[in-house]
Amino acid sequence: MCDQWKAFKFFDVSQIRLPDEDAKSVFDQGKISSVTSGGNSVYVGTEDGVVHVLDQSFKPSKSFKAHDVGSVRHIKRVPETSYLVTLAEDLSNEPTLKVWALDKLDKRTDSPKCLSTVSIQNGRKQFPVIPNAAKF
């Protein structure tokens, strides 16, 4: 009979540094509504329609107004591309889905270029949009 258990190392442990003051402003607002990652960045959607792009040390590298009305409820970086998909909803308006090209900038706003905007027709029912799992 064996008296010892085999130890398995499942995770690499490393100390996490707290973000500096610039990054704290994104987290301290308390308005984060969605988060995703991809392409060495973290994307944070907020209740006021803004998307913050954070680098690997959680420092904000860019912020842009993704939606004029509604909260960014769902956000997804499409793997192996430069596309970011956002879905905003405000229960008094139709939900809006937008596709952003992160590698192309709008010259007027210096923000990622919006490639497509689709209004989701739900008959103005007071139900939140729940996306099904989609594999990109």
**C-alpha closest to that of 74 among 12, 11, 133, 119:** 133
Name the E strands within 21-95.
Answer: 32-38, 41-46, 50-54, 60-65, 71-77, 83-89
Of 101 and 134, the structure prediction assigns the larger pLDDT to 101
CA distances for 67 relative to 20, 74, 111, angstroms: 27, 12, 12
Mean pLDDT of the chain: 82
Topology classification of domain 31-119: Thrombin, subunit H (2.40.10)
Convert the pLDDT of each residue in 53-66 to its tens digit: 998 878 888 999 99
Listed range (78-82, 88-92, 97-101, 122-126) with the worst mean pLDDT: 122-126
Output the pLDDT for position 135: 53
Of 115 and 24, the structure prediction assigns the larger pLDDT to 115
Q: What is the pTM of this model?
A: 0.76
Q: Is the pLDDT of residue 1 over 60?
A: no
Percentage with pLDDT > 90 across the chain = 38
Of 28 and 34, the structure prediction assigns the larger pLDDT to 34
The token duo for 54 is 């954070």
Burial class (CB in 10 A: 0-12, 13-18, 19+), 26: buried
